[in-house]
Structure 1
């Protein structure tokens, strides 16, 4: 795998995912160090002229009016110590690596005034696999600085780090990786922490997972249409050209491609339930929402989001609110709602498949009948999962209080919006697993049905993991096995995400 080269532009969510999860190396582009040196010079000159610069010669937040005198480096260390207030379970390593590469990408734009040596140390730690132990609770989206202090402190040799799967003191981890702790010049501490890198990095991973789950949902929906004997005229492209709603044509084409064959079987009914008939509309809305979330995340990954911001070409240092991620939070709130809608339709299709018998299918998808429970107990499981998804779909970006004596009187709750969206994807995959199970069983119970090549491949992949139901057995075990394959990257076949969502600039 080729290295990801940081240039100050062009970083995508897939780049973050490959660094965070696949160990892709990161290199510094040829112009980046010069850009950082120029910004650092502008910052130092502004400070020397007597300009008040937030976080360099003034306090932070409610201490904005307090002048900082004396050892500027000592103040940067104090700044980090005083803001290390995050609590809760540590973020997983992939989220921490995503945070590190996100911050490095942002810093490479040159707007922070960060010392080049500190930037190099961040990239070196990422490549060496030295990761801070970063608690998950503490950011309200007005920058992720309380969470980010763990990263900055780790680079100075303070706090704890994860290295080679072991948790240890940061100084020891750096030493084992043959790295040295950094020293902080004026504003370096603030430059490391005062951005929404946790939100942007985790958001990139969430978008990646949403694309994967959407591909799996399309496969489940197509297999349901096979097993249900659905009317495929709903996928006629002329219908979707007549109402070109967001993503609808792409979703319909993906379903059509999964179901294409030489001879289309006759439908068993004129019109199917809405969870089947309206799949292109439902999945299309999700495609659009994923695209918007990706666009918002990639803006952050390639932006100078510091406060204050160093404008190197103009030789200015100006206060800004660029760390505030209202649009990113809104994009992930919207994505969560689109996921919830898609998950609700999946649950509805599962109940249609496993109900009293429809379109010639036996009651509860049981091949033995009588008192057999078949798949019907899993309707409760599906309903329980959907309730958990709906709970997470409730918006949070308006839930904030004024803090820091009213100086920080607005927040976005972006980390929470992203985190609950990620949690919804995990739950949604469980519903997809249930739908795949039921659709495969319905296919097995239809005599003489010949599947399309691609849905046949989906069916084969299911049966490689779980057998058809011949008599009542613990189906929860089967559902767990299929979910593990969907969530763990072992699921085949898979639609390429590029087939579903067009890359946005």
Structure 2
């Protein structure tokens, strides 16, 4: 079934299906009337001679310069070409499809004044799986002009696009897909590129994956609790409810479900009265991270369901208004906060892993090897953990303040949301490696302690079983880098997201 745009509320899950599962898109019946009405306003104002930014008045530093009547359509093509200044490697197909979907969703809201035929061409391009080549770098999120320009070029037979695995000139890609180049009318070029659909799309994908990673992380932590024989009193429902800080009740509930059936719930089962802080405050720190991610997801979904064009067409009033809805400070700040939150959870994960190396805390062999000082066990993994933490810490630095004025000083503020989202994606890759390492360490502790599977919580056992299906217990020293890489692939693919896989139920 096609995902309809223009009427129903669109969430991140809908975008992910279109991007990664190649679900087709259709314009909702009621949306077409709004698009047509907005287009009529554009055509009326274009013929009126009244100066309107981006319609018959030039863009950027040339604002106010009047365009010749006969040049309005050609100017739209030139505007797209001139802003196709993205550089670097092209984005993957799923990301490009997410960008296409996000822009179609915005156009379907009826505020852009785009020609219905051009909107139909955008939908056809996506549904025929013609995927423009969009470079990675260039946007400062004062509209994603570079990325969206590259996204738009193949619509009128320019630029490059991937079709059925081949990267082709835009005109040839259209031809092979059975499509015709579209003719841009007044304002059409600006409507295609004057939005933050690229940032919105990329943020949706990254935040979807961050949410999954947080669930996978809890599986690793639950397994670590089994290996440490941790005290579970910090997860007691009444304890977390006594101070209901952001997300902690939900996280504690999820951990309780993962540990359902564990002997650690029995009186006297824990080895210590009080464990290290990195184990005691998981609900608080992961709860805060969950809250930051939920806030950022809400901001993304606002963008997915808005008409954020400038100028904005108000069909009911017959107006086109310049405005500041292209600016994304709330999204940028919330995603920066997600990066800081993941750095907090990461520092605790490193601390937990390092605690497992110490016999004084765990009653387990030094560096998790039963063979004594002649073997290194997990000793060198401490270097990997330190390197990952450094990489994560670097990418947790806020990027939303890093801008300079451009366009003769007219564009004197930028929230840099594109960069903020991009670095969160890079940070997430390192987090996946960290989760993989914590899973390996926790499983090794379980094996060295000789914990019976019948004693483990359901979710912790599921994580252990999946982990051991990928890598065996470490006995004789061997290269652990390949083991971490193998588990990383499974973590990134969501194989340890036990909630998504319905292997754990809410407590």
Aligned residue pair count: 499
Is the aligned partner of 1:48 residue 2:51? no
Structure 1 distance, partners of 2:451, 2:79, is: 71
2:17 alignment partner in structure 1: 18
Distance 1:42 1:55 in 2: 14
Q: Deviations over 1:407-443 (max 9, x none)?
A: 1000011111001001111110100000000100101
Aligned residue in 2 for 1:467: 472
Structure 2 residue 438 is matched with structure 1 residue 439:
no
Aligned to 1:169: 169
Pick one of 463, 479, 483 that aligns with 1:458.
463
Cα contact 2:356–2:362 (8 A) shared by 1: no
CA distance in 2, matches of 1:448, 1:198: 49
Question: 1:8, 1:302 within 8 Å by CA — same for their partners in 2?
Answer: no
State the match for 2:95 in structure 1. Answer: 95
Q: 2-side partners of 1:262 and 1:310: how far apart?
A: 60
Q: CA deviation at 1:246?
A: 0.3
Q: Deviations over 1:452-505 (max 9, x none)?
A: 12211110000000000111111111101000111134x1562139999x9xxx
Matched, 1:353 2:356: yes
Higher mean C-alpha displacement, 133-142 vs 352-361:
352-361
Distance 2:384 2:492 in 1: 18
Seen in structure 2, the aligned counterparts of structure 1 residues 232 and 46 have a Cα distance that, compared at 3 Å, is same
Aligned partner of 1:256 in structure 2 is 256
Q: Aligned runs of 1:235-250 on 2, under 5 Å?
A: 235-250=235-250
- CA spacing shift, 1:418–1:453, aligned 2, 3 Å: same
For the residues of structure 2 that align with 1:124 and 1:281, how far apart are their CA atoms? Answer: 47
What whole-Å deviation, never above 9, does each CA across 1:326-368 have from its counterpart, x for those lacking one?
A: 1111111011111111111111111111234523211111021
The answer as to whether partners of 1:211 and 1:497 remain within 8 angstroms in 2 is no
TM-score (normalised: structure 1)? 0.96
Q: Quick check: 52-61 or 355-364, which moved more?
A: 355-364
Q: Which residue does the alignment assign to 2:411? A: 408
Residues 357 and 364, structure 1, Cα contact 8 Å, conserved in 2: no
CA contact (8 A) 1:248 1:280 kept: yes
Q: How does 1:253-332 map to 2 (within 5 A)?
A: 253-261=253-261, 263=263, 264-265=265-266, 266-332=269-335
- The aligned residue for residue 498 of structure 2 is 494
Q: Deviations over 1:76-117 (max 9, x none)?
A: 111112212111111111111110000011111000000011
SS of residue paired to 1:136: strand
* Alignment-derived partner of residue 191 in structure 2: 191
- TM-aligned CA distance change 1:216 to 1:20, over 3 Å: same
CA distance in 1, matches of 2:74, 2:20: 36
Contact 1:8 1:106 (C-alpha < 8 Å) held by counterparts:
no
Query: Does residue 149 in structure 1 map to residue 149 in structure 2?
Result: yes
Could you state the TM-score of these two structures normalised by the residue count of structure 2?
A: 0.96
* DSSP-derived class of the 1:246 partner: coil
Distance 1:93 1:368 in 2: 48
